[in-house]
Amino acid sequence: METVEAYLTRKKQELDLLNDSLSDPLTIRFPKSVAEVIEQKFHLAAALKAEHALQDWGQTETAWTHAGRPRRGPFEFKYDYQRADLQVKGPSFYALENKSGSETVYTASGMAAISGLLMATAPVFSEADIITMPNSYGETTELIDGHTKHLRRIELGGSFAEIAKLRGSRPRILVLDSCTTASAFEETLKCTQPRLDLILFDTTCFSSGSGRILRALSWAHSAATPIILLRSHTKLDSLGVEYGRLGSAVFPCSRAGGAKQQLLEVLLTEMGNAVRLFGGAALPAHFPPYVGSPAYRSLTNKRVAAMLVNSRWMTRYFSAKLAGLAAECHFTHGLYVTLAPARTLDEIQARDVVAELCADLRRRGLPLRHAGSFGFDFGAAEWSKDRIRDCYVVRIAAADLPTSLWYEIVGAVGAWWKAREPRVRMRPQNVGTATEVTLGTVT
């Protein structure tokens, strides 16, 4: 259990790391409250961005000055017109060993990385089955259904074993998603013969040093299946300030070599083309200059550990106090839970519930905000669609906050939710078997 004093000391270290990245550091006071932590941290992030703009004024989108390779902290860039050929040299965001030989494509966001890679599969697979897990990231499935006509999406109903029952000779691509349920993720990694041609692993919700990433890589290598790591860096990789929109796709070397390594090399080339043609190249200004140092790695690990501790307590509390109203409490990343209203809500009504909840807690001085992301120094609430239960739910993301304050926030959310909702059991889960999805229509 982290005390307020220990929390503020740790936050001062984060502030110092940000401040040390400035050429002309600011005077940083020791924070006396959570509000001061958040204010100073976002102030420093703004100062870093402003300094970059002022010092590197000649480094425009077209690199017209040709004044050498621009830098951003430990990152070095090379590009010509509009960053279409952007090359990045610098530390990996992943805290993983034995990454020699891997190639990374940086993009303007996590969705730019996913969309660029999916578009890159078109010249490689004239048609293929793409398998998504229960409650995979909503925008990923929306993208597949609406814009990848060469891919037939099959959503697993609840068991990875369903893949063995699929018929046909089409290549199979698995989207392994870090925001799926813990049971589905664990069952997937237990499959010794997955019968897959490619794995796209969205690691966004895992810490960059998570053991689950290592396990997934090991699983793919054991099955001799090529794997590509996709990630949005605007969530867990920026010390909670969302420094800038940034995504990536990492292409590890395939241990199998031969045709499977060749597949990765072709996809790497085609993704570069897709990023160039769709205008999805990364912005050098969005690379946090404090990444890569031992202090950054240590503080990031401590932040994620604190969020996981807070989230586990929230899971236990909601499971006990909101029985029948807690929708999903066991996501594999362990960073948020979802609550389901007893009555069916549409999207607008779900948005209104989130706004009302956050406004009520804010009036009580509790740091819970309506935010569509997570990993902040404040709690974040958002609406989302639960496709397993076929209903809109409210997502509560754990924050990096002192334990006692987080207990107070969770207790307030639980009391607010229980007072608002009638004592009715949530309707049963609609968990079925694998479903083929074509052009956004379930058939």
Q: Which tokens belong to 296?
A: 């950054």
Contact status, residue 143 vs residue 118, Cβ threshold 8 Å: yes
**pLDDT value, residue 98:** 57
* Residues facing residue 181 across a β-bridge: 331
Is 181 in the same domain as 39? no
**pLDDT value, residue 431:** 42
Instruction: Kindly state the average pLDDT of the residues 174-194.
Output: 89
Phi-psi region of 58 (alpha: psi -120 to 50; beta: other; left: phi over 0): alpha
Is 48 in the same domain as 164? no
Weakest mean pLDDT among 35-39, 158-162, 245-249: 158-162
Is 147 in the same domain as 266? yes
pLDDT at 251 over 70: yes
**pLDDT value, residue 159:** 67
C-alpha dihedral (288, 289, 293, 297), degrees to nearest 10 = -20
Does 310 reside within a domain? Answer: yes
pLDDT at 256 over 90: no
**pLDDT value, residue 425:** 41
Does 322 reside within a domain? Answer: yes
Does 425 reside within a domain? Answer: no
Neighbours of 320 (CB within 10 A): 10
pLDDT at 167 over 80: no
Instruction: Kindly state the average pLDDT of the residues 148-154.
Output: 94
Residue that finishes a domain, picked among 285, 309, 340: 285
Weakest mean pLDDT among 193-197, 256-260, 432-436: 432-436
**pLDDT value, residue 255:** 64
| Tens digit of each residue's pLDDT (9 = 90 or more) over 22-34 | 999 999 999 999 9
d(CA 333, CA 344): 27
Which of the two residues, 282 and 134, has the higher pLDDT score? 282
Weakest mean pLDDT among 44-58, 158-172, 340-354: 158-172
Is 42 in the same domain as 146? no
pLDDT at 64 over 90: no
Does 89 reside within a domain? Answer: yes
Is 357 in the same domain as 239? no
pLDDT band at 422 (very low <50, low <70, confident <90, very high): low
Sign of the Cα torsion 323, 325, 327, 328 reads: negative
Number of domains in the chain: 3
Is 368 in the same domain as 261? no
**pLDDT value, residue 427:** 40
Q: Which domain holds residue 46?
A: 4-55
Contact status, residue 253 vs residue 244, Cβ threshold 8 Å: no
pLDDT band at 96 (very low <50, low <70, confident <90, very high): confident
**pLDDT value, residue 55:** 82
Which of the two residues, 435 and 45, has the higher pLDDT score? 45
Does 290 reside within a domain? Answer: no
| Tens digit of each residue's pLDDT (9 = 90 or more) over 116-150 | 999 999 999 999 999 998 778 889 999 999 999 99
Task: Work out the percent of the chain whose per-residue pLDDT is above 90.
Answer: 66
**pLDDT value, residue 430:** 42
| Tens digit of each residue's pLDDT (9 = 90 or more) over 380-400 | 999 998 888 888 999 999 999
Is 321 in the same domain as 278? no
Is 271 in the same domain as 365? no
d(CA 134, CA 178): 11
Q: What is the mean pLDDT of the chain?
A: 88
Is 38 in the same domain as 174? no
**pLDDT value, residue 442:** 28
Does 63 reside within a domain? Answer: no
Is 180 in the same domain as 315? no
Does 60 reside within a domain? Answer: no
Is 256 in the same domain as 379? no
Is 36 in the same domain as 86? no
Does 313 reside within a domain? Answer: yes
pLDDT at 178 over 50: yes
CATH code of residue 398: 3.90.1150.170
Smallest CA-to-CA distance from 417 within 308, 312, 327 is with 327
pLDDT at 349 over 70: yes
d(CA 28, CA 12): 8
Q: The sheet that has 151-155: what strands, in order across it?
A: 103-107, 247-251, 227-232, 198-202, 172-177, 128-132, 151-155, 435-438, 441-442
pLDDT at 211 over 50: yes
The pTM of the full predicted model, rounded to 2 decimals, is 0.90
